Structure 1
Amino acid sequence: MEITKIKGNTYYIKGGTNTGLYIFEDKTGLIIDPGLKGIRIKKIVEALEAENIDLKHIINTHEHNDHYGACNNFKNHFKGLEILSSIEAKMYIENPELFSKYIMGGKCNVLFNDYFRENVDDDIYIDKTIKEGFAYINNVEFQIIELPGHTPGSIGVLTKDKVIFVGDILVSDKLLRKYDFLFIYDIEKYLVSLEKLKIIDFEYLILGHGKEIISKDDTNVLIEKHKQAIQKYLNQVIDLLHEPMTLEKVLKDIINNNKLSYNYKEYHYLKSSLVSLISYLVDKDEIKHRLEDGELLYYTKRK
């Protein structure tokens, strides 16, 4: 397992979910987003021990299990390790069934839950919550930036080397071209977070998923592509709703028209994101609804 230097004391470890690493002068370490449990974690531990690094801290950028799932693997190996997250992320990390319930819109079932049970340790606890501002860890300053939208509790972590780890607020250009129907909890807050990211003083950005180290200029280009992807689907929803339509019919047309792939779990992710798009348009007074023959129908107000 290769530890890749970015700048100064800031490194990262590539994976399905990238893991950030900051190595302090005393050879203790902080990781950002440990990822899912499994063989990769054993390899990371071996790589850290080969460099005589004693892991002392974990920061989770947000409350999706592919980012926090391996927390206990590290905590069981490195004694005295402290796990941190935002207060919103803490609620979901310590109560993972809440995520399933909000995606499903009610009690979940084994078809959805088995995926999470297989990839996440039980009973992960957050030792300390962090909020926007400066956090001092082992006498080193880190800037915590609230970047909600993808999830309620999403944060970015900026090291003193001007390297920022942003979780899933952005995806790589390659992934965006392939999967441009973004998984977003709150469209309004997400768009505000994208604009906020533009004005942060950093040199390099590390995505949660993607192999490249991204410059500030390339980040700004990627932000615009994300905004275009959101607008693409907002426009599609508005166009479809020239005729009154149920949520499920809108989702069916979006899946088919854009050739989106899905399984049982992914269908509910797509549906959740569509609800976010519709809620955004309702709040903007772009669409209305009516109840008819046992159905909830949405339709556009535009002529």
Structure 2
Amino acid sequence: MESVYLSGSTGYIPGRVNVGLFQTKNGFWMVDSGIDDEAGRKIARFVEELGVPLQRIITTHSHADHCGGNRFLKKRTGCSVAATKLEAIIIEETFLEPLLLWSAFPFAELCNKFLQAKPSTIDKVIPNKGIIDESGLEAVPLPGHYLDMIGVRTPDDVFFIADSVFSEQIIEKYAIMFVLDVGSALETLSFLEKVNAAWFVPSHAPAVQDIVPLANANRKGLLRVSEAVLECCSRPSGRDDIVQALADRFSLSMSVSEYLLNSAAISAHLSWLRKEGHISPVVTRGRLVWKKNS
């Protein structure tokens, strides 16, 4: 496992989920922990080889690929874990993530490491804004992607921005990016474009010094999906109809988990289009359908 240092005592471990690193005289602080025990095991080996204790994991949000290594690392290193209040609830009770997607207790195919991490105890509940602890790390609210996701800014002016943006390659491959609140996600992108930082580190893209091009690509991706959803509503369409139409349009094949994630994202676009006054919901013949307003 290799690390990339960006500025001062701040770096990250590149991977499917970039793990943030910040070192003080007392040890390492980490931003997120990867998807599972194996990710946690690799991080533990990395820290142990350096001979520096792992003090705390700051978890940006409760999606499994960001908190799945928490439990292993806590047990192996004795570190603590911090998260915001709403995210902490799901990190400690991870069955809630697939439950939220399915709107009921999840069936077997949803109980996997991609949707349900091993639960881990939260030692410190932190606000979504302000200095986190003695490390000097700062929590910055980045709403839109999940319940109360934060970014983490270090004293070295490196800004870990979690899942507020995705790489252009991911957008091109998957088309429908997971989001809970489209309006807030768009506001977060506008906020990031105005932030001055030495480096920006997304969870699913390489570190960059200029976030504007990537923020713009993510905005275009979100609006492309919203426009496609609105087009579907030119005739009365249920959510499943819209998911199927977008799968055809973007040539998407889906697992059961991916279907649920895409369905939730489409729901977010429907809610936003309703808020903007573009569509309205109607129940007809036992189906909830959405119609474009004239």
- Mark yes or no: TM-score above 0.5: yes
**Correspondence 1:144-163 to 2 at 5 A:** 144-163=139-158
Q: Among 74, 78, 82, which residue is 1:84 paired with?
A: 82
One-letter code aligned to 2:87: A
3-state DSSP class of the match of 1:2? coil
Work out the CA distance in 1 between the residues paired with 2:132 and 2:232. 50
Residues 131, 139 of structure 2: 8 Å contact kept: yes
* TM-fit CA distance, 1:136: 5.0
2:197 matched to which residue of 1? 202
Alignment of 1:272 with 2:269, yes or no, is no
Q: Deviations over 1:37-90 (max 9, x none)?
A: 2333323222212211101111001110110011121111222x2210111111
Residue 16 of structure 2 corresponds to residue 16 of structure 1: yes
1:213 partner amino acid: A
Name the counterpart of 2:208.
Answer: 214
In the TM superposition, what are the counterparts of 1:14-163 in structure 2 within 5 Å? Answer: 14-26=14-26, 28-79=27-78, 81-115=79-113, 120-121=117-118, 123-135=119-131, 137-138=133-134, 140-163=135-158
CA separation of 1:240/1:37 partners in 2, compared to 1, >3 Å: closer, same or farther?
closer
| Partner secondary structure for residue 111 of structure 2 | helix
Match of residue 171 from structure 1: 166
Q: Distance in 2 between matches of 1:10 and 1:41?
A: 19
Displacement, 1:24? 0.5
> Superposition RMSD on alpha carbons, in Å?
1.6
Query: Percentage identity across aligned positions?
Result: 23
Q: TM-score, normalised by structure 2?
A: 0.95
Deviations 1:107-165 (A, max 9, x none): 21111113458x733x4111111124332533x32221011111011100000111111
2:180 matched residue in structure 1: 185
Structure 1: gaps spanning 5 or more residues: none
Unaligned runs of 5+ in 2: none
Distance of 1:204 and 1:66 partners within structure 2: 22
Report the CA distance between 1:300 and its aligned residue.
0.2
Identify the range of structure 1 (287-296 vs 156-165) with the bigger mean alpha-carbon deviation.
287-296
CA distance in 1, matches of 2:128, 2:239: 36
- How many residues are paired up? 294
Q: In structure 2, how many angstroms separate the alpha carbons of the residues matched to 1:66 and 1:136?
A: 22
**Amino acid aligned to 1:204:** W
The normalised TM-score by structure 1 is: 0.92
Which residue of structure 1 lines up, in the alignment, with residue 281 of structure 2?
Answer: 289
Give, in whole Å, the separation in 1 of the partners of 2:91 and 2:111: 15
Alignment of structure 1 residues 228-239 onto 2, 5 Å: 228-239=220-231
